[in-house]
Amino acid sequence: MSIVSVGSDLARIDRITDAIERRGQSILDRLFTPEEQAYCEARKERFTHYAGRFAVKEAVMKVLGTGWARGVRWVDIEVRREPGSAPQLHLHGRAAEHGRDLGIRKIHITITHDGGLAMAVAIAED
């Protein structure tokens, strides 16, 4: 297996917090799957976790080369985390199609946050 592409993103946690507080459930439903929302809402620092997942979605859009276009929806890129394990990426819909077209078999992700920022890196392999 070899690396197909790499993407990264940095998100300001206060920017995500402001957007969620201002637009409420409508923005949550547009950006995050029900499972992602449940995970974040169960955390003490929920906005930090939302920002991390937002950064992952941006990083993956860079990996796929789609940006916010080509029919890829935010909820087509999903971060799941089982207790005691690292976050895992799941693609749905057009994002999954673009991944297949690029020959991507797996996208590894990592998320970190500190100092009011959330950062994500996505590495796609064939």
| Per-position DSSP letters for 38-84, written without gaps between them | HHHHTSTTHHHHHHHHHHHHHHHHHHHT-TT-TT--GGGEEEE--TT
* Residue range 78-90, pLDDT digits in tens: 999 988 999 999 9
pTM equals 0.94
**Angle at Cα 121 formed by Cα 102 and Cα 4, nearest 5°?**
25
- Residue 66 pLDDT exceeds 90: no
pLDDT of residue 71: 80
Q: Tell me the pLDDT band of 68, cut-offs 50, 70 and 90.
A: low
Q: Say if CB 118 and CB 11 are below 8 A apart.
A: yes
